[in-house]
Amino acid sequence: MSTTTANQQLPVPVTGDDPDIPGDVTALATAIEKKLVMVFTSTSDRSTRVPAPTSGMFAVMTDTDTVVFYDGAAWKQVYPPVVPAVTNGTTVPSNASGANGDVFFKF
């Protein structure tokens, strides 16, 4: 029965296990993949190659020079940081509540 390494919890076979090189390599590769920053040419490339992402995955998108993180529900941009747009004016945006003259941040 395989065990895991202490710090990174990577699966490794132990003495007495039946030899299963394909299974051991697959288990190790799957565990490592979740701990790497993957590189993709575009979001469609990422979606094709990783149809079911796992929470905690990081990816670099080469077409936009961005780094993204999968939070379990969606890919979020990490770098460059997303800076909120500042909207000012005398009217409240239709999707917000507040008083005329307030400042609203749009993410």
| Domain layout of the chain by residue ranges | 1-35, 37-107
Q: How confident is the model at residue 71, as a pLDDT? A: 92
Q: When comparing pLDDT for 53 and 102, which is higher?
A: 53
CA distances from 11 to 23, 38, 72 (A): 11, 20, 23
Helices (H) and strands (E) in the chain, counts: 2, 8
pTM (predicted TM-score): 0.52
In the chain, the percentage of residues whose pLDDT exceeds 90 is 26
